Chains A and B, each alone.
Chain A
């Protein structure tokens, strides 16, 4: 990639240089000479030479394969315990009418699951719940402003003065003639299953502080905005909020309101600051409140360690391996092609048929 500043521009500047001054005085209509106006700025002209193409392919291939291996290793080191409990936590008697069961407030929803640790897990251990087929990105066009994904009011969440700001919160704007805080469908549908963990007799405390984004706590949810009139409507969508705790400390709400991008998503429930050993039995007491049965959604509990790459996902590693492998393959393929059908660059004669110059 060398430069072509020489050649044309040299000649041009000479022609323009001495003659132009005199002419310009005589004649103002003459366009001024400059490398810019004559489109002669020094420029780099990259050309895909065989050497360049092949080395690019091999270079990228090698880098990608190594990155892929690193990513796979990282994913491999993550320990993850996955427990789906939506069906398991419905008593056998109610198995035919899950919706009736979940909507019946008189039936206790307690449920106990036992998890076995498959590998040593270093703290912190992240507790997630995962919902399936739950479209937090849903956007309906029933009425003008009724869209799940936008059914919230950020002004109201941030400042107590804006308690009456409930635009775009349809249909959870007002209840009993008073504004709902926090208004909107998202808040209304807040996930309300709860988990508590113990290993043997030892209770594993779940740390629920700091599970949301710091920026959300500090700027999006007000420190003196308190829930009020929440879940007071005819239909209760999810969790109740303690009206004495300001929104900025309602971290479950904050996490929930960061709407998930995809219909299968995890939300952080809390963190356990205890190392777990392989074959440890973890007893989970959970209260199965949240209704995913009406739309056939799954509920899953996950305990997972984390690496720099996030959770246990082998996809990235494989993707890097595939792309890297492809590049190396292409590097070989092109080397072969260049050897079989060499062409002298810039030579008109070596290119039969196509040269029309």
Chain B
């Protein structure tokens, strides 16, 4: 009878229910028989449209939409109407590079400022410096950036070209012979029929027409798209499959929605042979996926090139700006105001001076208003114009107060920091031999200010390797698995070995092999048969180097099922072959055929799956496996067994294992026949098939005998719990955003020590907006209550032991994100110290990141490895990609990439801390040093009757920012370390420096400006008073001012350097020497006014005495502030530094440091 009934009925007009998206109005469920399914509604669309119902209302829906909303594709007739398949990720072409790149660069406000200054300097009336010289710095900055951009774009061009020139087999257009000929990807058109072979990459988004499988099944791997490495099943509709096998071609017109970026949604219908066939997400295969396990597949291109979903989702990394750079804009504004103030003062005073001396100017030698050869006054513009022009000149002279060199310095410092991060052996992953890479060069310092870490789970925290750990069979716990005795099957002299060996429990193995007939051994056998048969695993036979040895690779959508199948194989129950009608299982060396009579897929209501199997001994058995919550409701009354199993399950899950319960029931003949007729009725019914099948399943799945339970370890990567603990001690909140289901997420939360038993869990898992609102309000009330309760006892709520954990389900987030409920979620989430979000769609991950990013000033970091993490990586302030795994999408989108999750600790705590500290200091210092110089210039103007003379040589003015003072800050910005690596790792709380903005804030800026003011006064006025009424000439005094300024700003830097190694020594002192040498050189040029001045002035004792007192008087306030704060108001870093220096660090036992959690 139906013993050879195929799993899918090829003759049926519809694929069986298991292969269709559920027709019920619920989000599409990615079929996953085990229950680890991911429901993926489009998070940002109204719920109604998430529920495509391909069988019923959807075609009508599509038709109602106007023509602009859909596109019509004639199958087999390429149309030029839509975008071709050529892609272009490069930003520029050779022609557009210059204008576009310049446009992009000038979006930086400060560049516009520098441009304005340069233009201003070209005007003859106001020119102060040489025209060319003034344009040089800006030109240099622009050039460097342009070269960098050009190089990056060139790489993109190359990869585009490679991608566009790949070949695909395309069915020739109708007039030619119907055969598949290779064509370049870029020449593909919408409407082309393309044939893809196994392991080939799909060139465009295609609707499947036919596959090598008679039932129209094709497997694709979507790792490039959503990060999941398991296979997904896609279907060709029977109508097209049949038509293709008959005619070798498919006609018809396909109507589909316009290109959109939802990778889980697709609605279309195909008019073929006068019928309208509806198509859903399971009928489309997307560009970038790979065809697997299917010899060939044929599809029609519906979206090509830039319209494909992968390209639409590939928005390109948004250009991120570091926090410091954003804050820097505020200081730039303050400095601009200062600049305007100084220029106004100078020009107004100049105007007043001219007014006051108006009558005298005619004969004043140094002014000489009149031109006596013509008898006219010089082209005198009038006081107003005079003031205006003086103002513009002043802007040019004082413009350095906003340092253009800062931008160059920052780029170079980041380059250096990136080099050292890449070279750090602590960030090098041996197992995947992947180095740390800085992909974005402009946010290094953000690594030191992170407050939120959003982590993906699969592949990031875990290795995405499920390993069977322990089993409880019939109330007996077998969890002492030790040896990995791989089990192999011999068939026709060929040795079949499962690809992965699982550690086996010797007792269980012994019982299985020797027991033979007794009742217990039979139960054990049934247990493993259930593991081997009750799944949708496809065994693949792989060749090895030895021709007599074959490897069995279990492929399937669920990694848990794979783990179970491998486990069964290790115990000797090897699944060897699966067809649609039966499975071949090698039972302890005896190859047996089990007919699959029926299969009830997993669904989210039942939370279990079952198969009905015809055994070789003619009995019919029902094997069920599912989550414990769903299984214990349908057991028979064997209480002892159930209780023991429950106890074991508790034990397993507290170990962080993923648990499943396995059960069986032997079906009697009448029972089976009843079921069979009901099942067939249900499978062939047209309306409500899913509901009918579900009720059939529910009816038969009852009175189950519990065989046992399994515990599968979702292997964590090395050092994950420790890393998370460090991050949390460092004051970061770690959120896990996973596509996995709630239970799994929680168990991972436990195993990586994020969740502990003393936490209060708040779960939000609702399926309507109202209920979401209600549970959010309740949660908010709970947090408030606990806060009040705890604050009564102590000031610190954490110490009272109430720690909240929030678990949110992706389904609920559909109703929360982008609605007014967001605010509430935000409030709840920030009260909780742990947040787990499960069943998240890629865009929801980004939504959650945005929730925090848009509402707080806190820096966010997202870390992930898969393409589904791309959106979150791009959304977060800092995106980190895990490299070394398959699929480079996350790495491509990331700002930093590295091999392991645990590297986050050295990356943030050590390099992040250093980078932030160095960069913050460098920016402040650059402001300070230029302000000092500009103020010195400004004071002089008060003694030149407010004309903008600079005593300091104009070459020195230019070199001041470029050479005299810039190199030491760059070197210090790259090399200085406030604390050693070991200290920073031992005391994660030192990371708080960055989170509290301790190294760069308005107060520090003001302090720096005050120091600049004081030092400029000292530099200017001490020589001024000493040389008043003397023969001092302008150049000599200018040289003294220049040298003194350079020395004191370098002294200031020297006082703030934490660690002096020889490189820093060389640069700081070398720069001062270089300045002196430059002054010598400039004063050796005979046509400059300063010829000989430095030699002359250095020959006087007064010069040296002045230099000495300037340095000391200028540095005293800084020294006093430093000595005072370091001793009487020390920062954490200061104390840690002292501990380092005086050896206290080594004596402190690390265990004695209280490990308090930080919120």
Bound CA span A99–B363, Å: 9
Give the CA-CA distance A30 to B1132 in the complex, in Å.
34
> For residue B1088, which residues in chain A have a CB less than 8 angstroms away from its CB?
154
Stretch at the interface among A33-41, A202-210, A241-249, A279-287: A33-41
Q: Is A315 an interface residue (CB 8 A)?
A: yes
Is B105 engaged at the interface, CB distance under 8 Å to the other chain? no
Q: How far is the CB of A216 from chain B (nearest CB, A)?
A: 7
Stretch at the interface among B211-219, B478-486, B494-502, B986-994: B986-994
Which of chain A's residues 269-316 have a Cβ closer than 8 Å to chain B?
291, 294-296, 308-311, 313, 315-316
A137 touching B1030, Cβ below 8 Å: no
- A39-B977, A261-B1037 in contact; A308/B1101 too (CB < 8 A)? yes
Q: By the criterion CB–CB under 8 Å, are B1105 and A67 in contact?
A: yes
Contact A341 B1128, beta carbon cutoff 8 Å? yes
Per-residue 0/1 for B1058-1074: is the Cβ within 8 Å of any A Cβ (1 yes, 0 no)? 11111110000000000
Q: A30-B433, A185-B368 are in contact. Are A262 and B126 (CB under 8 A)?
A: no
Find the residue from A30, A43, A144, A260 having the highest chain B CB count within 10 A: A43
Chain B residues with CB below 8 A from A154, complex form: 1086-1089
Contact B1095 A144 (CB under 8 A): no
Instruction: Write the chain B residue with the least CB distance to A302.
Output: B1029
Q: Could you give, for residues 978-1008 of chain B, a 1 whenever the CB lies within 8 Å of some chain A CB and a 0 otherwise?
A: 0011100001011010000000000000000
Interface bits A206-241 vs B (CB < 8 Å: 1, else 0): 000000010110011000000000000111011000
User: Please, how many angstroms separate the alpha-carbon atoms of A313 and B943 in the complex?
Assistant: 20
Q: A346-B1141, A351-B1135 are in contact. Are A313 and B1113 (CB under 8 A)?
A: no
Assuming the contacts A148-B366, A323-B1109, asked whether A42 and B1031 have C-beta atoms less than 8 A apart, the reply is: no
A141 touches which of B125, B1086, B1102 (Cβ 8 Å) = B125
In the complex, chain B residues 861-895 whose Cβ is within 8 Å of any chain A Cβ: none
B1029 touches A185 (CB 8 A): no
Q: Are B364 and A4 in contact (CB under 8 A)?
A: no
Tell me if B1122 and A140 are in contact (CB < 8 A): no
Q: Which residues of B contact A50 (CB under 8 A)?
A: 1127
Return the CB mask of B405-437 against A: 1 if under 8 Å, else 0: 000000000000000101111001010011100
- Name the CB-closest residue of A to B1139: A346
Q: A44-B1060, A64-B1112, A138-B949 given as contacts; is B428 within 8 A of A30 (CB)?
A: yes
Mark A94-111 against chain B: 1 for CB-CB distance below 8 A, else 0. 000001000100000000
Most chain A beta-carbon neighbours within 10 Å: one of B366, B977, B1058:
B366
Contacts of A16 in B (CB 8 A): 425
Q: How far is the CB of B34 from chain A (nearest CB, A)?
A: 38
Q: Select which of B1034, B1059, B1144 is within 8 A of A347 by beta carbon.
A: B1144
A326 to B379 Cα, complex, angstroms: 53
Segment at the A interface, from B759-767, B786-794, B1020-1028: B1020-1028
User: Which residues does chain B contribute within 8 Å of A84, judged by CB atoms?
Assistant: none
In the complex, what residues of A have CB within 8 A of residue B989's CB? 356-357
CA distance A35 to B433 in the complex (A): 21
Q: Is the CB of A144 within 8 A of B125?
A: yes
Contact mask for chain B residues 1037-1058; partner A; CB cutoff 8 A; 1 contact, 0 none: 1100000000000000000001
Q: Which residues of A contact B981 (CB under 8 A)?
A: 8, 39
A158 vs B1136: C-alpha distance when bound (angstroms):
64
Once the chains bind, are B1116 and A313 in contact (CB under 8 Å)? Answer: no
- Asked if A354 is at the interface of the complex by the 8 Å CB criterion, the answer is yes
A143, A262, A295 — most chain B CB neighbours (10 Å): A262
- Please tell me if A134 contacts chain B, counting CB pairs below 8 Å: yes
Q: Give chain A nearest CB distance to B215 CB in angstroms.
A: 46
Q: How far is the CB of B449 from chain A (nearest CB, A)?
A: 16
Q: Mark A22-36, 1 if CB is under 8 A from B, else 0.
A: 010001011111000
A334 touching B1123 by the CB < 8 A rule? yes
- Segment of B306-314, B370-378, B626-634, B675-683 in the binding face: B370-378
Write out the residue numbers on chain A whose beta carbons fall within 8 Å of the beta carbon of B363. Answer: 99, 103, 235, 291, 294-295
Contact size range, B: 35 or more
B-side contacts of A347, CB under 8 Å: 1135, 1144
Contacts of B324 in A (CB 8 A): none
| Bound form: Cα–Cα A53–B1125 in Å | 13
| Residue A268 lies at the interface, judged by CB distance under 8 Å to chain B | yes
Query: Does A81 make an interface contact (CB < 8 A)?
Result: no
Which positions 325-357 of chain B face chain A at CB distance < 8 Å? Answer: 357
The answer to whether B1096 touches A31 (Cβ under 8 A) is: no
B932 at the interface (CB under 8 A from A): no
Kindly state the separation between the CA atoms of A347 and B361 in the bound complex, as whole angstroms: 70
Residues of B within 8 A of A265 (CB): 1029-1032
The answer to whether B1132 and A355 have CB atoms under 8 Å apart is: yes
Take A261-B1027, A323-B1109, A357-B987 as given contacts and tell me if A134 and B366 are in contact as well, using a CB distance cutoff of 8 Å: yes
Q: In the complex, which residues of chain A have a beta carbon less than 8 angstroms from the beta carbon of B380?
A: 142
A164 in the interface (beta carbon within 8 A) = no
Q: Give A333's nearest chain B residue, CB to CB.
A: B1120
A316 close to B1135 (CB less than 8 A): no
Known: A42-B1061, A294-B364, A316-B1106. A310 touches B1030 (CB 8 A): yes
Give the docked Cα–Cα distance between A154 and B1131 (Å): 58
* CB–CB A185/B424 < 8 A: no
Question: In the complex, how many angstroms separate the beta carbon of A212 from the nearest chain B beta carbon?
Answer: 11
Q: How far is the CA of A171 from the CA of B1036 in the complex (A)?
A: 27
How distant is B936 from chain A, measured CB to nearest CB, in Å? 13
Partner of B944, one of A128, A135, A171: A135
A contact face: mostly helix, strand, loop, or mixed: loop
- Which residue of chain A is the closest to B1031 with respect to CB atoms? A266
Evaluate contact between B378 and A233: CB separation under 8 angstroms: no
Q: A53 — nearest CB in chain B belongs to which residue?
A: B1123
B1098-1122 contact mask (Cβ, 8 Å, vs A): 1 or 0: 0011100110110011001001101
Is B1033 an interface residue, CB under 8 A from the partner?
A: yes
Q: How far is the CA of A245 from the CA of B499 in the complex (A)?
A: 105
Q: Which residue of A lies closest to B1158 (CB)?
A: A356
| Among candidates B357, B365, B379, B1025, residue contacting A142 with C-beta atoms closer than 8 Å | B379
Chain B 919-953 per-residue mask, 1 if CB under 8 angstroms from chain A, else 0: 00000000000000000000000011101110100
A90 at the interface (CB under 8 A from B): no
Q: Would you call A343 and B1128 a contact (CB within 8 A)?
A: yes
Residues of B within 8 A of A142 (CB): 378-380
Minimum C-beta distance from B1081 to chain A (A) = 15
> Closest B-chain residue to A152, C-beta based?
B1089
Chain A residue numbers with a CB within 8 Å of B389 are 141
Please tell me if the beta carbons of B1032 and A260 are within 8 angstroms of each other in the complex. yes
B152 within 8 A of A: no
Whether A320 sits at the interface, judged by CB under 8 Å, is: yes
B372 near A351: Cβ-Cβ < 8 Å: no
What 1/0 flags go to B890-910 for Cβ under 8 Å of A?
000000000000000000000
Q: Does residue A62 face the partner (Cβ distance < 8 Å to B)?
A: no
The interface residues of chain B lying within 8 Å CB-to-CB of A351 are 1130, 1135
Question: Which 8 residue pairs across A and B have the least CB separation, nearest first?
Answer: A215-B1092, A234-B372, A346-B1138, A189-B365, A346-B1139, A37-B423, A43-B1059, A294-B363
Can you report 11 A-B residue pairs in the complex whose CB atoms are below 8 A from each other? Answer: A33-B425, A137-B944, A141-B126, A234-B372, A235-B363, A263-B943, A310-B1100, A311-B1029, A316-B1102, A316-B1109, A346-B1138
Taking beta carbons and an 8 Å cutoff, which residues of A are in contact with B? 2, 4, 7-8, 16, 23, 27, 29-33, 37-39, 41-48, 50, 53, 56, 60, 64, 67, 71, 99, 103, 128, 130, 134-144, 146-150, 154-155, 158, 171, 175, 185, 188-189, 213, 215-216, 219-220, 233-235, 237-238, 258-268, 291, 294-296, 308-311, 313, 315-316, 319-320, 323, 326-327, 330, 334, 337-338, 341, 343, 345-348, 351, 354-357
Q: Interface on B for A, CB 8 Å cutoff?
A: 124-127, 357, 360-368, 370-373, 375, 378-380, 386, 389-390, 393, 420, 422-425, 428, 430, 433-435, 943-945, 947-949, 951, 975, 977, 980-982, 987, 989-990, 992, 1022, 1024-1038, 1058-1064, 1086-1089, 1091-1092, 1095-1096, 1100-1102, 1105-1106, 1108-1109, 1112-1113, 1116, 1119-1120, 1122-1124, 1126-1132, 1135-1142, 1144-1145, 1153
